[in-house]
Structure 1
Amino acid sequence: MKISYKVLYLLLSLGFTGITKANITLFSLFQSNMVLQRDKPCPIWGTATKGEKILLLFNNSTYKTTAGKDGKWKIILPAQPAGGPYQISISGKNTVVLNNVLFGDVWVCGGQSNMQFPVRELAQKEMDSARDNNPNIRLFTVGIATDYVPQDTIKGGEWKFASVETIQNFSAVGFFFGRYVQEHIGVPIGLISDNLGATAVEEWMSNEAVHQFPQFDAYYNTYLAPGKSFKQIQQDFERGKPAWEKQYYLVNDPGLEQQWYKPDTDTSDWQTMNLPGYWEDKGLPDYDGSVWFRKTFDLPPDFKGNFHFGIGPADDYDIAWVNGIKVGETYGNQNLRGYSVPDSVLKPTGNVLVVRVFDAGNNGGMYNMFWDQRWAGKWLYKPGEKINAASFKKPLVPNAYIFGSPTILYNGNIAPITPLAIKGFIWYQGEGNSSRAEEYKQLFPAMIQDWRKHFNQGDLPFLFVQLANYNAGPGEDWAALREAQASALALPNTGIATAIDIGEANDIHPKNKQDVGKRLGLAALKVAYGKDTTHVSPVYKSMEKSGDSIIVYFDDTILTKDKYGYVHGFSIAGADSVFHWAKAYIRNDNTVVVYSDKVKTPIAVRYAWANNPDELDLYNKEGLPALPFRTDDWKGITSGKTFSYTE
């Protein structure tokens, strides 16, 4: 085969020679103004052209490496003491210069909404704003990403000096923790906020970690065992999609044949269904296949631009039209649906939204409109194509709910930073697992060990917040979750900061983040920095029965804030396992006597064992509250409840 010189020149100009060099890129965290971990070998990595020579200049020393076959490179700086600022220069085809780099302690701030909760939402602003302007505290917020396999990059993020302005959008707990540690230890502090509200612990565990637990088998075997990313699964699906649609998905549907998506469709025989919800619960039992839904809407006054709507997740697939124009389609019963409609399609009033929802087995429908409640309410509906789910072929598609699918947040947000040298972790999460507290007792320690394994820096300090008092109604699921959290203290280099006395009964996001940060800081001084004089919350040590009383021993000197010297929050039970609120008083420095007229022969005692204990006054001399506890192991309301997954 002959090739013209013009064609050859074109191919060369487009880079088909295989020798065109790519610019050096650094992993997203490596920027000017960053903090690198002191006193440890410190990896710096990135990408370049395969075989490209990389030169790093730092502190009058030169370090060299070569990009591998995959274009990746890594240079490890020798351990450095705290200090700076420094300049780091990395050269290959191009040169990248990092300025104002400090060496200090780097902490990863993980969890859900109470860790994500930003400074700007605090109820009371700090009067001493000068403490907030601290160039020795640097802040970085990771942009959230998800995937089925570990990623090697993170989304966005920029290192910023701590100032009154920059802290406003940063984790309040993270900042107040970092400020406390910086002021007491005196070294630069780097805080990496890597968290997301409304998430469960299993979302932050690696694929290997969840594979230890049989309740994840169905999910693991479907989505994780193939070892493919969202992108790879989507590409596989797109290749087979035309044949699948022709054979299974878009056949024998009168709605498609008669074009029910058109605004002028006769709907006189359509029925009404109140959404969200599964249609099996709303008049269509044992129905698999397509159901067409229809709703009219008006635009907001003075609306301009594209119109975005979200119908939440749909089980299993959907196609959406507005005014007869297709605006989107989504596959998978966990994925959130969000579609944009061009203004050219819209009119001020009487717009017609039609959604064809297709269920391939089990439940079907638009079942969760929490994220865009404009669409909740009455819809017209009409069944279309009914199928035999047993013979319907379901393709594998990326199918992940960002607020519920295991491992996807670890893979997108934690896995990429595991090569980074760090000091430790702070963690505020558990609300999303409160209905499965007993299970959390296994999952949470497994996650801690999982992170330590992948960061590969020994037993890194792991400090966590015990859930605050919340929810004035009956229930003990949060109490059980607090117990599950505290059980992780059996692992080495762990510390706890309880918020049992600073919550708000009617707000799952209590505004007092300053004390939470300080208590985590105290735990850090003791666990991570070896300050033996630092006190943390008093912890239950042991008990003994004494007639009609139980004697409770703590590991620290205790006192009560009650002006009459009593201690509230204790309950006591006999052999019938029925607990009664008890009277209690401090007998010695570390001893509480608990009794009740209703229990003559007590065998078990609990302290602060409620979702929202009414009044607590048991503290140590440093003003830290005693940790909630129970001495029995009787089954609770979350016993036997575990993660479950169905397609």
Structure 2
Amino acid sequence: MILPRNVDIPITGKAKPKTNITVTIGEQSHKVKSNSKGKWEILLNPMPHGGPFILEIKEEQGDKLVLDNVLVGDLWLCAGQSNMQYTPNMLNYKETPDDDYIAPNLRLCSVWVDQDYLPRENVSNAVWQEVNKETARNFSAVGYFFGKDLIRDKNIPVGLISSNLGATSIETWMGMDILKTFPQFDEVTEKISKINKSYETLENEFNKTRKKWDSKYYLKGPGLDEKWYEQGYDYSDWEECTLPAFFSEFGYASHDGSMWFKRTFDLDTDQLKNDFNIVLNQIDDYDRVWVNGVQIGESFGKSNFRNYTAPKEILLEEGNILTVRVFDAGGKGGIYTNAFWGNPILNGTWKYKKGISIDSGKFPKPEVGNGSPFSHPMLLYNASIAPLHKLPITGVIWYQGEANEARAGEYADLLPAMIKDWREKWNQPEMPFLVVQLANYKQEDKTPTNSNWAELRESQMKASILKNVDIVSAIDIGDANDIHPYNKKEVAKRLALLAKHYNYGEELKKGPVYKSHSLTKSSILIQFDTYGSKLTSKDKFGYLRGFAIAGENGEFKWAKAELVDNNTIKVYHQNVNDPKYVRYAWSDNPGPLDLINTEGLPAFPFRTDNFELGTSKKTYQYDPHAF
């Protein structure tokens, strides 16, 4: 693993209560006594980068733990959604990480992402690995290539900590303290504040009451005594429905209680060699699941995702029977989320039969941990970021935003708020935080139009006004047909250029950024910050695509543009007299762009108008059935 350089290094652990512990590394030796619960903590003195070291932890007259091959260097957190999560294997990289570049000073740490109502002390699991072809290909591609770029130029060990999850919105990565400053999250923050219990505590409390609750309220009614789930049960007279759906979509809007569903599935020879994954996604409110008469799982909480495993020993090549008892404790009920990933066993035609009906007003509903990890505020932060605050990190690389496109304007407030809160919790008020701006995606627009992705990019750009917060553009390396751009190496390279500036004192290298503009009767002159570089065009004729221009009426037209000098562009249109406004790359996918600097870095999208944007009034609203 990598320990942080030039700072106090916290080492914590557990031992027998009231036991003397000795911790040694290099020339340091520290003694501590565990408390009545066996917990202990010491601070290693700051160490310069280097290693490898041996970290030894020894109980007096007891056990000894030896951790070898420990380096001291810089730690970077790789956070965000799927474009940070995607590995070289997930991207089907044809080329592999360079076999001849072993990267002995680069280490990878993958955090098992989890969720909770309250901040946890520890992550569920985290594994440190040395770099080889296998570990590199199964780690964040952006993170791996970023770290590899840093250690290629610097003789400083680098540790990468990957804590991210695809399809997640920014509020899932924000803590209670900062969410309370935004009124749109009041319903969620007030509810969790009232509960004020962790998932583990709620589960323990629920388990203590399960036996009585099951027998008196939950596990009752038609289907259980008759064993509708058994292999060989004749359900040919059951009605048909198409799932996913709520009960109301097939005529049972007023039904609270149980509804039974059945369908068959076949497996091929290869699938029969392993346990089989049953993905049912979200179910309102409770469920119990059987395959071929064998119960394989149950869950509680309408927003939680269901992912079960059928052991290979019970599987058949043809005619496997999947049975799901869904129990609705009030409001909507059903198996309601489309199987957009995992196996498609959920989608399609099912047989169903109504079970017991209940009075939802009198039915006791146990409090359980409940929330989608993709959209429920703070759950991922509490379990997957908060425990890391004890670990002194060097900085953060952040690639997220796609999931917030419908509320792009709101993102301009949420991102800087999250950055400030993370910095406060890490007790590093100027910790570098490096952002990847959304890439070009979807089909090109034939005419200038509004764009949620352009608005989100603008919101990301606004965060860079904070000290030591900066941004890289991916506007030129996206894919119209794939939300996950393939070229993660270039994204990582651009992030590494920023890191080398903010952490290692090198000259700042980034793409041209709009600085100011001036109007003439027939054109608009745009001045750029070029950071010691010069504007140029990738096109051999000097064309500059991606500009749109408008007069006072705000009707934008594709414009012509040309270089005036090293940091100025002239934009014009023959049919737009007295032009007032310019937009550049203001589109989900602006298509091929030519404006770069002499280092080949693309200019950032921008606009000079202040027209109200399409997402400006859209803010978070709690939805118990949100994906």
Please report the TM-score for the alignment, with normalisation by the length of structure 1. Answer: 0.88
Aligned pairs for 1:549-568 within 5 A: 549-556=523-530, 557-568=534-545
Aligned pairs for 1:326-337 within 5 A: 326-337=295-306
In 2 relative to 1, CA 128–602 (structure 1 residues): closer, same or farther, beyond 3 Å? Answer: same
Structure 1: gaps (5+ residues) = 1-33
Aligned pairs for 1:230-249 within 5 A: 230-245=199-214, 248-249=217-218
User: 2 CA distance for matches of 1:605 and 1:390?
Assistant: 58
Aligned pairs for 1:153-164 within 5 A: 153-164=122-133
Contact 1:261–1:321, Cα closer than 8 Å, also in 2? yes
How many angstroms does 1:348 deviate by?
Answer: 4.4
Question: What amino acid maps onto 2:145 in structure 1?
Answer: F
1:409 to 367, 380, 403: 380
**1:646: which partner in 2?**
623
How many angstroms does 1:388 deviate by?
Answer: 4.6
**2:103: which partner in 1?**
134
User: 1 CA distance for matches of 2:234 and 2:150?
Assistant: 68
SS across alignment from 2:104: strand
1:45 to 12, 29, 44: 12
SS across alignment from 2:164: coil
**1:11: which partner in 2?**
none
**1:422: which partner in 2?**
393
* Corresponding position: 1:220 with 2:195: no
How many angstroms does 1:488 deviate by?
Answer: 0.8
SS across alignment from 1:444: helix
How many angstroms does 1:335 deviate by?
Answer: 1.7
Deviates more, 1:132-141 or 1:64-73: 64-73
How many angstroms does 1:478 deviate by?
Answer: 1.6
Question: What amino acid maps onto 1:175 in structure 2?
Answer: Y
Question: What amino acid maps onto 2:252 in structure 1?
Answer: L
How many angstroms does 1:392 deviate by?
Answer: 4.1
Aligned pairs for 1:267-346 within 5 A: 267=235, 270-301=238-269, 303=272, 306-342=275-311
**1:15: which partner in 2?**
none
* Corresponding position: 1:543 with 2:514: no
**1:66: which partner in 2?**
33
How many angstroms does 1:294 deviate by?
Answer: 2.0
User: 2 CA distance for matches of 1:323 and 1:578?
Assistant: 63
2:501 to 526, 531, 536: 526
Contact 2:277–2:343, Cα closer than 8 Å, also in 1? no
RMSD between superposed Cα atoms in Å:
2.5
* Corresponding position: 1:394 with 2:365: yes
User: 2 CA distance for matches of 1:521 and 1:279?
Assistant: 51
Contact 2:586–2:606, Cα closer than 8 Å, also in 1? yes
SS across alignment from 1:362: coil
How many angstroms does 1:299 deviate by?
Answer: 4.0
User: 2 CA distance for matches of 1:295 and 1:165?
Assistant: 39
**1:481: which partner in 2?**
456
* Corresponding position: 1:147 with 2:116: yes
**1:583: which partner in 2?**
560
User: 1 CA distance for matches of 2:28 and 2:274?
Assistant: 55
1:475-518 CA-partner distances (Å, limit 9, x unpaired)? 72221111111111021111111111011111112121111111
Contact 2:257–2:327, Cα closer than 8 Å, also in 1? yes
SS across alignment from 2:245: coil
Contact 2:265–2:345, Cα closer than 8 Å, also in 1? no
User: 2 CA distance for matches of 1:381 and 1:129?
Assistant: 55
Contact 1:118–1:172, Cα closer than 8 Å, also in 2? yes
User: 1 CA distance for matches of 2:312 and 2:144?
Assistant: 42
2:82 to 113, 117, 134: 113
User: 2 CA distance for matches of 1:445 and 1:351?
Assistant: 51
Question: What amino acid maps onto 1:270 in structure 2?
Answer: W
**2:351: which partner in 1?**
380
**2:95: which partner in 1?**
125
User: 1 CA distance for matches of 2:85 and 2:294?
Assistant: 39
**1:634: which partner in 2?**
611
How many angstroms does 1:163 deviate by?
Answer: 3.6
Deviates more, 1:579-588 or 1:253-262: 253-262
**1:609: which partner in 2?**
586
User: 2 CA distance for matches of 1:286 and 1:598?
Assistant: 61
Question: What amino acid maps onto 1:48 in structure 2?
Answer: A
**1:497: which partner in 2?**
472
How many angstroms does 1:454 deviate by?
Answer: 1.3
Contact 1:494–1:527, Cα closer than 8 Å, also in 2? no
Identity %: 45
SS across alignment from 2:604: coil
1:42-65 CA-partner distances (Å, limit 9, x unpaired)? 222222223222212233232222
Contact 2:284–2:335, Cα closer than 8 Å, also in 1? yes
* Corresponding position: 1:197 with 2:166: yes
How many angstroms does 1:366 deviate by?
Answer: 0.8
1:81 to 45, 48, 54: 48
User: 1 CA distance for matches of 2:335 and 2:104?
Assistant: 49
How many angstroms does 1:283 deviate by?
Answer: 3.6
User: 2 CA distance for matches of 1:372 and 1:222?
Assistant: 34
Structure 2: gaps (5+ residues) = none
User: 1 CA distance for matches of 2:27 and 2:591?
Assistant: 61
**2:571: which partner in 1?**
594
SS across alignment from 1:625: coil
Deviates more, 1:498-507 or 1:170-179: 170-179
User: 2 CA distance for matches of 1:327 and 1:193?
Assistant: 31
User: 1 CA distance for matches of 2:70 and 2:155?
Assistant: 17
**1:574: which partner in 2?**
551
Aligned residues: 611
